[in-house]
Chains A and B, each alone.
Chain A
Amino acid sequence: MKATKLLVIIGTLLVLGLIIYFPGRKLAREHVNYETAVQNHPLSCISCHYYTQRTGFISKLINEDYLSPFNLTVSKDGRRLFVIAQDANELLVVDADKKNVLHKIKVGIHPHSVILSENGKIAYVSNQWSDNVSVIDLASSKVVDSLKTGNGPAGLALSADGNFLYAVNAFGSNLSVINLKTKEEINRFSTGNNPTGIALSKVSKELYVTSRRQNPVAYGEPLVSDFTVVNDSTQKLKKYISMNNAYLMENVAFTPSGDLALTALTRPKNLVPAIQVERGWMMNDGIGIIEQKPNGKVVQLLIDEPNSYYSSLFDVVISPNGKKAFLSSSGVDYISVVNLDSIRNIIANTSPQMLKRLANNLGTSSRFVTKRIKTGAVPKGLALSPNGKLLYVAEMLDDKIGVINTETLEKIYTIDLGGPKRITIARKGRRLFNNAAHTFQNQYACYTCHPDNHEDGLEYNFASMGRNIVNVISLREIADTPPYKWSGKNQSVYKQDGMRFSKFLTRTESFNYEDLDALVAYIKTGIKLPPNLMYNKDGKLTESQLRGKEIFNRSVDNLGKVIPKKSRCVTCHPSPYYTNLKLEDVGTLSKTDDSILFDTPNLNNIYASAPYLHDGRAKTLEEIWTVYGGDDNHGRVNDLSKIELNDLVNYLKSLRGSNYEKSSLKTQHASF
């Protein structure tokens, strides 16, 4: 009897199991098909529901805290390396001979660069997300002071006399001059847009500051990014030098003789319809060369080759004899070795018209690139030993320092910085995000148009030629703000980066599902929103911002009339992401757009995302209403005074990530 009962129970459970299994599997299949927009993605729950966990136990289980070496410098005796571990918020002191980490010094948030004082006793570390510079006593390996900077300090340089520290403020687009005796910022210069790199010519005593974003212009106008030149002796702004058709100038270096300044740069083709990748049609990589003499030439040469591109140039260093330059291409994991005499020869013996052409010539690199040296994953900062015999490479996503013999031009060993050995799914995704191998002939990586996981400030013509111009969208808070594309056609990151992405953008084999899982895991979990230290440091809004907040949330206009719900800012832009995740018509359709609605953008840190609107037509937030929003389709604004509009804009600039707003909200601390 008991056996019969048992059989009945088992049989019932089996039947119930089958009843649940088949419809459940069907539902799961439909769900996965919807999310991935393909019919054959493996029916695996962990792809989306495990790898993309951002908080809690599972997140801790599947992720690791990596170091991510970003920039580095070498002591004068060559025995110590000082390495920025960006994701660990540390400065690592490395014994270059014994190849081990001696000290880990906690610095500010998201450190960017490190330099040493002339006597080698002090290290200065810029903390990009803390708006300060850590002053470190290297004898005790302790942070002994903190110097306040502008917003987003990146590159650092000391004045020739060692009395002043220059800090490049990447987010504020200016340069802080700090008196090291008084520890006060004594001056601040406006620079080009989004500067990061800085170098001092020991000959001319001039400082060159790079910029990564173009000067704001309407789509179709020539793209120009500026170098800022400051006289170190007089501490006066000297001039701006235009670098035409180039951006993402990350770093700059001078030759020891001071005859040339070199910068790594990218030459985008955003004004050319994106109809092919072949023949350098989308993105090129090169060096900018500025002759240091009266009426010196400003020249650009590509380091790419026909059929082969060296994407995401980052750093440039020059050998002590001024004969070689080394450039890191973090999109392809290569160092390019440049013969500077060949460069000098090209500049001296080529007509101005021909030099202009060479800026777009893929074959010229064969005249000056003498070697390509393979590195670990995503080479960023470079540093030469004092005698110039060794080149140290920050292999960011390997947590290692690659060491290259500059005579044999071979990588001779690596220094393991002691990061986690396990490569997590998200870390793999981050490597894919940064690597250009998933674009035809390595022409660009996801990172190229989304530097710092943000956007590059450009508009592109991806769809019909001359039509549907689109402003690149930031990836910050992307996990929580579907749908994707301005048209909102993509319901998930999976679809956004899937088959059509490969067909129309990367134009090579699409990601396999394993890689796509990893990429999505990184994009949905690993992208951090910087704090909004410029406009909302601590959550206390200014009076103007508070007035602007009232305008943002208002339901009645200045005339006492009720504002229709659809015309209230807060209706389409509710917190915490300030988007209703829907498509809307705000009257911005142009005659070159297909007749569509546009995805409502999220607004946190919107101050850092100029230009604005779907096609980037508004150079500033103000222009959204003063130039393009006069018909009240994009919120009721016509009743506002100029001061009130300023208040509204000030409030918008204060918006910051929800993780900074709600202390109770758990944030993902793991790095990838």
Chain B
Amino acid sequence: MEGMIVATQVPKNLQNANYYNGNSWRYFSKSKIVLLNPNRVNKPVKVLTNNFYAACTPQISFDGKSMLFTAQKSKNDLWQIWEMNLENLKAHQITTSSKNCIDPTYLPENRFVFSEIDSDSISKKGIPLFTGNLDGTNISQITYNPTINFASTVLKDGRILTISSEIYPKEKEAMFMVLRPDGTKEELFYKGAKGSVIKSRGFETTKGKVVFIESSSNKKTGDIMSIKYNRPLHSSVNLTQEIKGDFYTVSQLKGDTLLVSYRESKSNAYALYEFNSKTKKLGKLIYKNDTLNLLDAILIKKHNRPRNLPSEVNLKSKTGLIVCQNINFLDSPDKISKAVKIEILGMDASLGKVTVEKDGSFYLKVPANTPFQIQTIDNKEQVVNGPSSWLYLRPSERRGCIGCHENREQVPENRQPLSVRRAPILLPEQIKEVNKKRMH
């Protein structure tokens, strides 16, 4: 199978993609996974998932011998994660959840990550990420903030890259977040311009780039965007600005050649093309069918396994620790913040206020797996900054930040925060003011 392509095939008339619950974006009714040869233009495709009512979003294992995908066995089944042996084309079900499980991708050490949709609680809990063993055991939730997480991929450094958007109290624009497979150290990786929409899974190329599809606020069709792994927040390039039409998904074929789903206009179906990321030109047509879209195409190929990151999570612990160097450290030295306290906001109520140290630092112990926001407050009890994005800490996670709304490319000053010279302040147990009984 090495060198062949698998893709999701769906009828031409797609429903509008639902970025809230993923319908017709991350999973498609009556979809099929097909196999095709990139060197045999427009030859008939082979359906790999005839035994399924619907199957989509294939991902290839690191050894190139297996494929993870999302599928409904029968019409009214929930979407679950399946794996297919690409040598004998036999598939086995991995998840048996009472909820829809979609968007799987491989992790090192025979593990995988996916999104689990609980339609009843999306508005408050979002769509969390889960990880588990490929034999279906040890499935556990790894994200705990009210965000919708879709279309995860794994970077070579071992972290999960996911399209994430806050959902509570109101829906915000999606961005790429990155986190370790144990859910720790979640941070922003990429955020588009205002009004832009990330439309596809990110794909890390062997050229040090992450490519994906994004639409801008004034152009609703999808463009191929490229960002550098080494500087994702400030390196985005629109590779298809000069090309009329609409791109749906992108992955790497070889070197500078990308594999894209593209249609010239809304009246066409998405077809598979090569795309040269260097010349920014659409290349050879690989497959086109006037009545069927070909999406999420990916090359079957052995590829390097990402790093297998160690986990700092200790499930016996009920808390995590967070330290901040200086809440008044902002993105510019010209901006002045005179906050003296922080308030920790839970989903339903304030967890309390804490006076920070003279150097602006704080050190908290908070319940693990529990979303919270932070806002800074001045000595007149007025909010200075915030609330922040939703944060959460995994059990025993230790996390640091250098300021509030600081430049994301800033590293910490080599200075011991005064706050760590004392024991962490416990929240929400002691929520009113600085704990006077702190250790040493």
Do the two chains bind? yes
Which A residues have a C-beta under 8 Å from some C-beta of B?
A: 219-220, 222-223, 245, 267-273, 275-276, 278-281, 284, 302, 305-308, 351, 353-354, 356-357, 360-363, 366, 440-441, 461, 465-466, 499, 502-504, 507-510, 591-592
B234 at the interface (CB under 8 A from A): yes
Q: Given A276-B399, A509-B308, A354–B333 Cβ distance below 8 Å? A: yes
8 Å CB contact of B307 from A361, A499, A509:
A509
Task: Give A357 to B417 CA distance when docked, in angstroms.
Answer: 18
Chain A, residue nearest B402 (CB): A279
Q: A222-B415, A276-B185, A508-B307 are in contact. List 19 more A-B contacts (CB 8 A).
A: A219-B416, A222-B414, A269-B414, A273-B398, A275-B321, A279-B187, A281-B411, A284-B411, A308-B230, A353-B334, A357-B333, A360-B413, A362-B410, A366-B235, A465-B398, A502-B310, A508-B309, A510-B310, A592-B440
Query: Is B416 a contact of A271 with CB atoms below 8 Å?
Result: yes
Report yes or no: B412 in contact with A281, Cβ–Cβ below 8 A: yes
Q: Indicate whether B323 reaches chain A with its CB closer than 8 angstroms.
A: yes
Please tell me if B400 contacts chain A, counting CB pairs below 8 Å. yes
Q: Are B309 and A507 in contact (CB under 8 A)?
A: yes
Q: Would B229 and A276 count as touching, CB distance under 8 A? A: no
Contacts of A269 in B (CB 8 A): 411-412, 414
**Chain A residues, Cβ within 8 Å of B235:** 366
The reply to whether B416 and A220 form a contact with Cβ atoms under 8 Å apart is: yes
Binary interface profile of B, 318-358, with partner A (CB < 8 Å = 1, else 0)? 00010101000000111000000000000000000000000
Contacts of B402 in A (CB 8 A): 279
A271 proximity list for chain B (CB < 8 A):
414-416
Instruction: Please list 9 pairs of residues, one from A and one from B, whose beta carbons are closer than 8 Å in the complex, sorted by A's number.
Output: A222-B415, A272-B400, A273-B417, A279-B408, A307-B157, A353-B334, A466-B421, A503-B312, A508-B157
From DSSP, what is the main secondary structure of chain B's interface residues? loop
The answer to whether B231 and A366 touch across the interface, beta carbons within 8 angstroms, is yes
CB distance from B437 to the nearest CB of A (A): 15
Give CA–CA (A281, B232) in the complex, Å. 18
Could you tell me which residues of chain B, from 381 to 440, have a CB within 8 Å of some CB in chain A? 398-400, 402, 407-417, 420-422, 424, 440
Task: For B308, list chain A residues within 8 Å (CB).
Answer: 509
Residue from the list B229, B414, B424 in contact with A223, Cβ < 8 A: B414
Chain A residue at minimal CB-CB distance from B189: A307
Residues on B with C-beta less than 8 A from A280 are 411-412
B112 interfacial contact with A, CB 8 Å: no
* Contact of A466 with B398 at beta-carbon distance under 8 Å, contacts A269-B411, A509-B308 already known: no
A279 touches B411 (CB 8 A): yes
Which residues of chain A come closer than 8 Å to B416, judged between CB atoms? 219-220, 271-273, 461, 466
Tell me, rounded to whole Å, the shortest Cβ–Cβ distance linking B209 to chain A: 12
Question: Is B414 in contact with A273, judged by CB distance below 8 angstroms?
Answer: no
Shortest CB-to-CB span from B320 to chain A, Å, is 11
| Chain B residues at the A interface, C-beta cutoff of 8 Å | 108, 157-158, 185, 187, 229-235, 307-312, 321, 323, 325, 332-334, 363, 398-400, 402, 407-417, 420-422, 424, 440
Q: How far is the CA of A222 from the CA of B413 in the complex (A)?
A: 10
Among B158, B230, B321, the one with the most A-chain Cβ atoms within 10 Å of its Cβ is: B230
A353/B333 contact (C-beta < 8 A), A275-B398, A279-B411, A362-B411 known: yes
Q: In the complex, A465 Cα to B417 Cα: how many Å?
A: 10
Question: A509 touching B309 by the CB < 8 A rule?
Answer: yes
On chain B, the residues within 8 Å of A273 by CB distance are 323, 398, 400, 416-417, 420
Contact A306 B187 (CB under 8 A): no
Which of A278, A302, A361, A591 sits near B440, CB closer than 8 Å? Answer: A591
Q: Which residues of A contact B185 (CB under 8 A)?
A: 276, 278
The 5 closest A-B pairs by CB, nearest first: A280-B411, A466-B420, A363-B409, A275-B398, A353-B333
The distance in angstroms between the C-alpha atoms of A504 and B184, with both chains bound, is 13
Given A223-B414, A269-B414, A509-B307: A305 and B400 interface contact (C-beta under 8 Å):
no
CB neighbours of B325 from chain A (8 A): 272
- List the B side residues contacting A275 at CB < 8 Å: 321, 323, 398-400
Residues of A within 8 A of B417 (CB): 272-273
A279, A353, A502: most-surrounded residue (chain B CB, <10 A): A279
What chain A residues lie within 8 Å of B408 (beta carbons)?
279, 306
Q: If the complex has contacts A273-B323, A306-B230, A357-B333, are A281 and B410 also in contact, measured as CB distance less than 8 A?
A: no
Contact B323 A305, beta carbon cutoff 8 Å: no
> B398 contacts A366, CB within 8 Å?
no
- Complex CA gap A271/B417 in Å reads 8
B310 touches A245 (CB 8 A): no
Among A363, A466, A509, point to the contact of B231 (Cβ < 8 A): A363
* CB of A329, distance to nearest CB on chain B (Å): 14
In the bound assembly, the distance between CA atoms of A592 and B420 in angstroms comes to: 11
Name the contact of A278 in the complex, choosing from B187, B234, B363 (C-beta under 8 A). Answer: B187
> CA separation between A461 and B400, bound complex, in Å?
14
Report the Cα distance A503→B397, complex, angstroms: 12
| Residues of B with C-beta under 8 A to A360 | 410-413
Cα A504 to Cα B311 with chains together (Å) = 9
Residues of chain A lying within 8 A (CB to CB) of residue B410: 279, 357, 360-362
Chain A residue nearest in CB terms to B179: A278
Give the residues in chain B near A272, CB-CB below 8 Å. Answer: 325, 400, 412-417
Q: Are B310 and A499 in contact (CB under 8 A)?
A: yes
**A591 proximity list for chain B (CB < 8 A):** 440
Whether A267 and B310, one on each chain, are in contact in the complex, defined by CB atoms closer than 8 angstroms, is: no
* Shortest distance between the CB of A311 and any CB in chain B (Å): 14
| Contacts A278-B185, A466-B416; A308 near B411 (Cβ below 8 A) | no
Q: Tell me the complex Cα distance, A168–B403, Å.
A: 41
- Give A354's nearest chain B residue, CB to CB: B333
Q: Is the CB of A306 within 8 A of B232?
A: yes
Check A307/B411 contact, CB under 8 A, given A276-B400, A279-B187: no
A351-B333 Cα distance, complex, nearest whole Å:
10
Bound: A361/B424 CA distance, A: 28
Which single residue of chain A is at the shortest CB-CB distance from B334? Answer: A353
Q: How far is the CB of B22 from chain A (nearest CB, A)?
A: 28
Closest to A362 in B: B409
**Chain A residues closer than 8 Å to B333, beta-carbon distance:** 351, 353-354, 356-357
Chain B residue nearest to A269 in the complex (CB): B414
Query: Considering the chains assembled together, what is the distance between the CA atoms of A588 and B333 in angstroms?
Result: 42
Interface centre among B158, B233, B311, B398 (most CB of A within 10 A): B398
Chain A residues near B157 (CB, 8 Å)? 307, 440-441, 508
CB-CB nearest in chain B for A590: B440
* A361 contacts B414, C-beta separation under 8 Å: no
Write out the residue numbers on chain B whose beta carbons fall within 8 Å of the beta carbon of A504.
312
Q: Which residue of A lies closest to B233 (CB)?
A: A306
Cα distance A507–B312 when bound, in Å? 9
Residues of chain B within 8 A (CB-CB) of A305 are: 230-231
Residue of B nearest to A504 (CB): B312
Query: Cβ of A220: which chain B residues have Cβ within 8 Å of it?
Result: 416
Q: Give the distance to chain B from A446, nearest Cβ to Cβ, in Å.
A: 17
Residue of B nearest to A360 (CB): B411
With contact pairs A306-B232, A509-B158 given, residues A267 and B420 touching in the complex (Cβ less than 8 Å): no
State which of A245, A278, A592 has its C-beta within 8 Å of the C-beta of B414: A245
Flag if B310 contacts A507 (CB, 8 Å).
yes
How many angstroms from the CA of A220 to the CA of B187 in the assembled complex?
Answer: 28
Q: Name the distance in Å between A250's Cβ and chain B's nearest Cβ.
A: 19
Closest chain A CB from B371 CB (angstroms): 20
Instruction: Identify which of A276, A280, A465 gathers the most chain B CB atoms within 10 Å of its CB.
Output: A465
Q: Which residues of A contact B407 (CB under 8 A)?
A: 357, 361, 363
- Residue of B323, B414, B440 near A267 (CB, 8 A) is B414
When chains A and B are docked, how far (Å) is the Cα of A441 from the Cα of B402? Answer: 19
Q: Which residues of A are found within 8 Å of B440, using beta-carbon distances?
A: 591-592
Return chain A residues, CB-CB under 8 Å to B187.
Answer: 278-279
Bound CA–CA A455/B410 (angstroms): 28
Give bound CA distance, A574 to B309, whole Å.
Answer: 42
Find chain A residues with CB under 8 A from B424 CB.
465
CA distance A466 to B409 in the complex (A): 25
With a CB–CB cut-off of 8 A, which chain B residues contact A357? 333, 407, 410
Tell me the nearest residue of chain B to A592, going by C-beta. Answer: B440
**Which A residues are in CB contact (< 8 Å) with B399?**
275-276
Q: Which residues of B contact A592 (CB under 8 A)?
A: 421, 440
